[in-house]
Amino acid sequence: MVIKLKSIWLDVETKEYKSLNENIECDILIIGGGISGILLAYMLKDSHKKVVLVEAKKIGSGVTTNTTAHVTSQHDLTYYRYSEIFGLYKMEKIYNANQDAIKGIKKIINDEKINCNFKDISSIAFANNQKTINEMIKEYDVLKKINAANISLLDKSNEKIKYKKALKSDNQAIFHPLQFINGVINSLDNNINIYENTRILHFKNNIAYTKNHEINAKQIVIATHNPIINFPGTYFTKMYMGKSHCFAFKSSIKINNLYNEIDNSKLTFRSYDDYIIASGKSIITARSCKEIYEDLKKDILNYFPDAQFITSWSAQDGITLDYLPYIGKYNKKNDSFYVITGFNKWGMTTSYIAANIIADELLDKKNEYSEIYSPQRKFSKKAIINFSLYNLSTIPLYLRKFFTYKDPICPHLKCRMKYNKEEKIYECPCHGSRFDLDFKIIDTPSIHDIVKK
C-alpha cells in the first residue's frame, strides 16, 4: 500500500497575505510565521508598536504544519533530568512555565472564540520495561517534591493501550494547530502587518534584506525554527535537528487521552476527528539509512492491529545542549536581536512560553522565566561534552564531499547532503537543512536554494 506524504493538518487553509513589495520601517520585526511568531504578534497587538511579521513561505507552513499538537507540560520524562541539571528550584519554574502555557493557550481560545478542535485530556507516559519504569518513578518523585498538581502513577491501563506502569498528568490538551493559527490571526484586527513569501536573506545592522526590498527595524526577532544568522550566535553548534516521523490512521480501537511510550520506540498517540495520530522513530536528520516509515508502521500495528494508514509526514525540531529551549537575546553584544529556537519536540507550550518571554523583553517588562531560558545561560560540563562529541561527528560528514559527488552541497555551511528516498527530498546531515527535488528550501538554517549546475 502506498502512503501519501502529507500532514493531516493540511485539511484546512490559512489566510493568505501578499509578499513585501516596498521598503518599510517598523519598531519590531518578527521573522517566522509559525505558532511562536504568531503568538508573539498576538501578545504585541495592543502595544502601540508598529509590528511587522514576515514568513518565507506561507503562514504555518513549516514545523507548525507537521506538529502532533500536544498541548502538554508532560514532556516525556524531562523533569527529573531538569532537576539534575538545574536543581529543584529552576525545575519547578520550568514546570510552572509549561502549566502557565496550557492555561494561556486555553484563555486565548476562549477569549477569541477560536474553533480549533481543542480538547482537555490527560497525558499518559507509559512503560513496559523496568529501566524506564524506574525513571518514571524518579520523574513522579521530583514532581511531587514541587507539589505538581494533577499527577498520579497508574498500575493498570483503563483503555486499550496496555502498560505495566504509567505517569498520568491531568488537565492537558490537544488541538488543530492550523485552525488555532487562523483564529489567532483573525483576532489581530489589522494591528500587525503580515507578509508571506518574503524570505529574509541577510542583515546589515538593524536592516533585514529580502531579494528586492529592505525592512528597517528597531528590534528583530528570529523565530525561524532553525536560526538563520550563523555568526554571532553559532546556534548550529549548540543544537542538532531531531526528526520524528508521523502517521495518521483509522482503527476500531479508540483512545480518549494522549499517550507517550517512554520505552525504546518512543511512540506517541492522540486522536483527531476519526483518526489517530502517531509519531516516533526519532533520528538526527539524515543520519539513518533505514526505511523508517515501515519500521514505525510495524510498531503502530503492535498497539493497533487493524490500523488503516491514511497519510504520513515528518517533523523536525532543535535538540539543545541541556534539553531546554533558547529564548531571549540572540547574543550578548546585541540588544536589538532576539531568538526563539530549540523546542526539543515540545513546541506547543514552548511557543507560548517563548512569545510571553520575548514580548515582555521587547516591552521592557520583567518576566520570571526569562533568565532560565536565556541563550546566555551557563551549561553543565556534561552538556558541553555531549555537544562537543556531536560537532566532532560532523567532521566525517564534511569529508564526504571529497569522496562522493552524487549528492549536492548544502548552501548553509557546505556539507554534502543525503537523498531521502522515502520522502524524496535532500537533507543535510550536519545541520538539518532540507530541500525538495527542485532544490528549493524546505527547512532552514539555509536561506538559499541550491543552485543547479
Cα separation, 278 vs 247, in Å, equals 5
- pLDDT reported for residue 4: 67
Phi/psi region, residue 87 (left: phi>0; alpha: psi -120 to 50; beta: rest), is left
* pTM of the predicted protein model: 0.96
In eight-state DSSP terms, residue 233 is T
330 and 221 Cβ atoms separated by less than 8 Å: no
> Grid coordinates representing 434?
532540507
In eight-state DSSP terms, residue 155 is S
Cα separation, 58 vs 198, in Å, equals 9
Taking residue 41's Cβ as centre, other Cβ atoms within 10 Å add up to 26
Q: What is the C-alpha radius of gyration for the chain, rounded to an integer number of angstroms?
A: 21
- Provide the residue type at 341 as one letter: T
Read off the pLDDT of each residue in 70-75 and give the average, rounded to a whole number.
93
Cis peptide before 305 (omega within 30 of 0): no
**Of 29-33, 55-59, 162-166, minimum mean pLDDT range:** 162-166
pLDDT in tens, 288-320: 877 899 999 999 999 999 999 999 999 999 999
Cα separation, 113 vs 18, in Å, equals 26
**Helices and strands counted in the chain (H then E):** 11, 22
Burial of 19 (0-12, 13-18, 19+ CB in 10 A): middle
- pLDDT reported for residue 1: 44
- pLDDT reported for residue 401: 80
Edge-first strand listing for the sheet containing 425-427: 418-420, 425-427, 434-435, 441-443
- pLDDT reported for residue 3: 58
